[in-house]
Structure 1
Amino acid sequence: MIFKKIRTQLRRRWDIQMTIVELNHLDNKELDDLNISRWQISNIAAKNARS
């Protein structure tokens, strides 16, 4: 049970980190289309690091 929870959390962190990497590769127009600004990416990363 505990291993399943740990594995789930690790997978979630990996997914979030990969999403942040992908967001960083987008140009400003693509980010605007997603209604995300550059500074929000670093905020998402910071929130993830604390959780």
Structure 2
Amino acid sequence: MTLPGVKCTVSNCKFWQQGERCNASAIEVNVDGGSSNAHASDQTNCHTFAPK
């Protein structure tokens, strides 16, 4: 299953698919430091990542 509209450039993730697509069934994104508010994208992390 590919998540429509989700671009991923992390080619060493097991969910990465040709064409920079994500084939995970869901995505979990968290804020650095455990907060629930981010002010910029570099304050967030994708916790769906799993190495190939």
Bigger-Rg structure (1/2): 1
Quick check: TM above 0.5? no
TM-score range, shorter chain: under 0.3
TM-score (norm 2): 0.20
Q: Which has the higher strand share?
A: 2
Q: Which of the two has greater helix per residue? A: 1
Normalised to the residue count of structure 1, the TM-score between the two structures is 0.21
